[in-house]
Structures are given as structure tokens and as C-alpha cells.
């Protein structure tokens, strides 16, 4: 398995000690890292970095909290993005300029299929572009798809660890309530064009709702770089609108930490 290194010789690069405006870190701080794990929640960064191995903080600015971990002697960045596509794209723009070539979103999600249980992992191979950010990088009829190589590596890692996972399509929405057809919002109002959309995505076989993957895939593709997405299921929309209790939430977190660690170890050992 070979990870393409497209984009490695192009792009608006920076001086090694230049600290970029939004993420607050420089290429020098990354120590040659080419892989970045992108959780949404800044509060999840430290635990994820420490789960990978020896880790240290490198920056904290706005929603972008960054730690650097050592995996098999190779530096790996863990950087939060906050919620939604715009902050994902801003982070990716600056991280790409610092030399990051492989982006793996690591987060939580709500499942919309009955067989996708709380605590399971969802590995998205593509995303419905129910967002605005991705449309600033590619026309809407351009597909939001993951890196085949990174996606396969995540699948193989999950299988080797006997962790339950599902591979399929995400619905990436810019909103948590109307775009995901939730009616427990302040007004309970969902636009007519979105009413019934949950049932439609279910009928089409989509697995989950979240808010970042479409932007992640499109931005990476437009840069000629690699992106994948793995999320733990913390809400099962076919049963309830409630978030999973703490024990299941923690189980999902432990599982995606284990899978991304195994994935990185395997890729790095193979020289990818």
C-alpha cells in the first residue's frame, strides 16, 4: 500500500519559524510531522495525544489546541478544529503550509441506521455535502471522498483489534439542529426542504450525521493531500435524541484512540 505524496512540491509554504495566525504554531514546532489527527473538541486533544505515546503541548490559539506525539519515532500532530467546516478548512489551510500531508478526523457522531450501535466506530468513505464550506473549494457536483489508502488502513486496524466498525457515507451538515432534522431546538422549526431528510438519507444507506467530514475531504482533495475520517457513535438517532451515557461515550473514545494509534504505527512502520 503506497500513500501518494501529491502536493508535496507545491503550495504556499512558509519559513520554518513563522507562526501562522490562526493555529498559532510553526513548521519548526512540528518536527517534521506529516500526519495530523483532527478532533473537534480542544478538550479531547491531550488524551488523544497521550494515547499515542510520549506527547507535549505545542500551541493553543482560538479553537486550535495542538499537541505533538511520538509514534514509532515519528512526530504526529493532534490539533483540534472546533465545530463545523469553516474552522476545519482554516486549520487545514495553515497545517498544509506547515508540511502536513495526511489528515485524519477523529471525533464523535450520531448514527442513523439501526445496526450502528452506541460505542461502534464509523469510518466514512464519502460525505453528503450538506455544508457551505466545501462549496468554496469545489462545485457541489464534485464528490467528497476519502483517501482510499488511509481509509483502508483504518479498517485494517479496527479489524486487527476486533473493534466493531462500519464503513459508509456521512451526512455533513453545517447545523446541528435543522440540517440534521432535529426538532428539539429552541423553536422546533425545521425548514420544509429539510423535513423528511433524515428518512431519505437512511433510505439511501447513509450511516451518520456530523459536521466536518465533507469539508475535510473536499479541502484535502483540492490540495492534492490525503484525508480520512473515523468517529465514535455517541448518539443513536433511530432510538433516541439523547447523547450516550458516560460509560459508552468513554468506550467510543477508547476505541477510536486505539484504532488511530494502530493505524499510524502500521503506516509509519511501513514507511508510508
Label residue 196 exposed, middle or buried (CB < 10 Å: 0-12, 13-18, 19+): exposed
Catalytic residues: 22, 94, 182, 237
Q: Which long-range contacts (CB under 8 A, 24 or more apart) does 237-243 make?
A: 237/110, 237/111, 237/112, 237/198, 237/209, 238/111, 238/112, 238/113, 238/114, 241/182, 241/184
Task: Quote the cell numbers at residue 85.
Answer: 467546516
Contacts of 68 (CB under 8 A, 6+ apart): 29, 30, 31, 33, 49, 55, 56, 58, 75, 76, 77, 78
Q: Are 252 and 121 in contact (CB under 8 A)?
A: yes
Distance CA 131, CA 144 (A): 11
At residue 31's C-alpha, the angle toward residues 27 and 35, to 5°, is 85
Inter-CA distances, 215 with 82, 146, 204, Å: 13, 11, 21
Amino acid at each position: 500500500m503506497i500513500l501518494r505524496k501529491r502536493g508535496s512540491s507545491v503550495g504556499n509554504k512558509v519559513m520554518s519559524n513563522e507562526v501562522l495566525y490562526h493555529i498559532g504554531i510553526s513548521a519548526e514546532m512540528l518536527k517534521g510531522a506529516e500526519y495530523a489527527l483532527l478532533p473537534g473538541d480542544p478538550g479531547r486533544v491531550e488524551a488523544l495525544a497521550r494515547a499515542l505515546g510520549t506527547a507535549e503541548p505545542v500551541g493553543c490559539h482560538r479553537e486550535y489546541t495542538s499537541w505533538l506525539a511520538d509514534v514509532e519515532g515519528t512526530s504526529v500532530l493532534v490539533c483540534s478544529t472546533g465545530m463545523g467546516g469553516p474552522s476545519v478548512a482554516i486549520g487545514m489551510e495553515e497545517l498544509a503550509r506547515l508540511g502536513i500531508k495526511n489528515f485524519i478526523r477523529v471525533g464523535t457522531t450520531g448514527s442513523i441506521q439501526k445496526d450502528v450501535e452506541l460505542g461502534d466506530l464509523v469510518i466514512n468513505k464519502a460525505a453528503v455535502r450538506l455544508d457551505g464550506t466545501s462549496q468554496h473549494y469545489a462545485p457541489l457536483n464534485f464528490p467528497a471522498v476519502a483517501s482510499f489508502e488511509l481509509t483502508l488502513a483504518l479498517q485494517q486496524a479496527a479489524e486487527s483489534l476486533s473493534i466493531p466498525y462500519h464503513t459508509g457515507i456521512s451526512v455533513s451538515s453545517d447545523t446541528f439542529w435543522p440540517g440534521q432534522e432535529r426538532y428539539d431546538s429552541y423553536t422546533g422549526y425545521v425548514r420544509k426542504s429539510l423535513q423528511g431528510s433524515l428518512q431519505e438519507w437512511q433510505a439511501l444507506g447513509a450511516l451518520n450525521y456530523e459536521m466536518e467530514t465533507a469539508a475535510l475531504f473536499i479541502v484535502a482533495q483540492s490540495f492534492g493531500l490525503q484525508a480520512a475520517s473515523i468517529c465514535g457513535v455517541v448518539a443513536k438517532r433511530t432510538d433516541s435524541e439523547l447523547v450516550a451515557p458516560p460509560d459508552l461515550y468513554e468506550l467510543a473514545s477508547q476505541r477510536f484512540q486505539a484504532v488511530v494509534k494502530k493505524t499510524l504505527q502500521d503506516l509509519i512502520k511501513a514507511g508510508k
